[in-house]
Chain A
Amino acid sequence: AQSVAQPEDQVNVAEGNPLTVKCTYSVSGNPYLFWYVQYPNRGLQFLLKYITGDNLVKGSYGFEAEFNKSQTSFHLKKPSALVSDSALYFCAVSSRDYGGSQGNLIFGKGTKLSVKP
Chain B
Amino acid sequence: SQTIHQWPATLVQPVGSPLSLECTVEGTSNPNLYWYRQAAGRGLQLLFYSVGIGQISSEVPQNLSASRPQDRQFILSSKKLLLSDSGFYLCAWTRDHSYNEQFFGPGTRLTVL
Is B41 within 8 A of A88, CB to CB?
yes
Complex interface bits, B71-113 against A, C-beta within 8 A gives 1, otherwise 0 = 0000000000000000010101011111111111111010000
Q: List chain A positions with a Cβ less than 8 A from chain B.
A: 32, 34, 36, 40-46, 49, 51, 88, 90, 94-96, 98-105, 107-110
Is B98 within 8 A of A43, CB to CB?
no
Q: List chain B positions with a Cβ less than 8 A from chain A.
A: 6, 32, 34, 41-44, 46, 49, 51, 57, 88, 90, 92, 94-107, 109
Given A104-B49, A109-B42, also A46-B101 (CB < 8 A): yes
> Using Cβ atoms and an 8 Å threshold, which residues of chain B touch A88?
41-42
Shortest CB distance B65–A (Å): 19
Identify A110's interface contact among B32, B42, B100, CB under 8 A.
Answer: B42
> Using Cβ atoms and an 8 Å threshold, which residues of chain A touch B32?
102-103
Is B99 within 8 A of A51, CB to CB?
yes
Is B104 within 8 A of A109, CB to CB?
no
